[in-house]
């Protein structure tokens, strides 16, 4: 299985996502995308170029076909992989996907804090460390996890969320990738979703303001035969929903 991490990631986030959102019983490939953890950022770092590099990676590993799980900003290259290499993908799973949708769903995006706050966090290893050390709940809220959801989490779920946030460090080794993700997502156009023929599962959260559920719904409605699951809460990190997501994803991939 190829796990395509989201913004702020790297192979380490990919490993966490695989464990938290997919579960046991699979072999994972979790590369760092362009600009993350010393993976170079080429002149063409588009979603299409990322998909091509993923195919080259499979060639190097002598792997002919994989299931692909794309999380957040990992969704565009995952969809491009399905479009460009349909014979090399057995199933496509898009979790809280960053995706193009018509104006109404697109307008739903409302960051929990001003973008200047993200710029400051992503620009300083010290500030990111300081926030994870002394203001973790505030940092989790900045990534779309409401205080109501945080209050309902059990200790194990709180630990998983903490791991995800701590995995953003050191942020300086991820800055180039974060900037590129922003450029890719901000310039998204409609992909020919009707040409995606692989079995597809899309999962969104109703209270996700970073990648609104309308994006996932539109994507699923336009991929032939795609399944769409809307979770009632969890925010962009799907906090408190990991057990359910693991069951959904594992069952879907094993079926296909």
| Three-class SS state of 49 | helix
Domains of the chain in sequence order: 2-255 (3.40.50.1820)
Q: How many CB atoms lie within 10 A of CB 127?
A: 13
10 is written with which tokens?
Answer: 């790297």
pLDDT, tens digit, for every residue of 72-130? 999 999 999 999 999 999 999 999 999 999 875 544 556 555 566 667 777 788 887 87
Q: How far apart are the first and last CA of the chain?
A: 12
pLDDT, tens digit, for every residue of 203-250? 999 988 889 999 999 999 999 999 999 999 988 889 889 999 999 999
Expressed in percent and rounded to 5, the helix, strand and coil fractions of the chain are 50, 10, 40
Q: Is the pLDDT of residue 55 over 70?
A: yes
Q: What is the pLDDT of residue 52?
A: 99
Q: Is the pLDDT of residue 169 over 90?
A: no
Look up the pTM and report it: 0.91
Q: What is the pLDDT of residue 160?
A: 82
106 burial level (CB within 10 Å; 0-12, 13-18, 19+): middle
Query: To the nearest whole number, what is the mean pLDDT of the chain?
Result: 89
């Amino acid at each position: 299985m190829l796990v395509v991490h989201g913004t702020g990631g790297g192979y380490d986030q990919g490993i966490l996502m695989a464990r938290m959102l997919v579960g046991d019983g699979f072999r994972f490939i979790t590369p760092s995308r362009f600009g993350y953890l010393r993976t170079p950022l080429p002149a063409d770092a588009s979603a299409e170029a990322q998909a091509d590099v993923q195919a080259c990676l499979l060639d190097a590993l002598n792997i002919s076909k994989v299931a692909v799980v794309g999380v957040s900003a990992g969704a565009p290259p995952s969809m491009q992989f399905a479009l460009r290499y349909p014979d090399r993908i057995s199933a496509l799973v898009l979790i809280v996907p960053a995706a193009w949708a018509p104006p109404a769903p697109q307008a739903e995006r409302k960051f929990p804090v001003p973008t200047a706050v993200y710029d400051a966090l992503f620009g300083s290893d010290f500030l990111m460390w300081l926030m994870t050390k002394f203001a973790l709940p505030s940092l989790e809220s900045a990534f779309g996890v409401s205080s109501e959801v945080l209050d309902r989490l059990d200790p194990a779920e709180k630990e998983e969320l903490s791991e995800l946030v701590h995995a953003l460090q050191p942020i300086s080794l991820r800055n180039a990738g974060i900037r590129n993700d922003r450029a890719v997502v901000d310039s998204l156009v409609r992909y020919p979703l009707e040409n995606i023929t692989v079995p597809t599962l899309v999962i969104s959260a109703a209270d996700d303001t970073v990648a609104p559920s309308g994006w996932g719904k539109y994507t699923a409605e336009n991929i032939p035969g795609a399944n769409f699951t809307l979770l009632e809460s969890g925010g962009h990190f799907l906090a408190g929903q990991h057990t359910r997501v693991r069951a959904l994803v594992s069952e879907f991939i094993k079926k296909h």
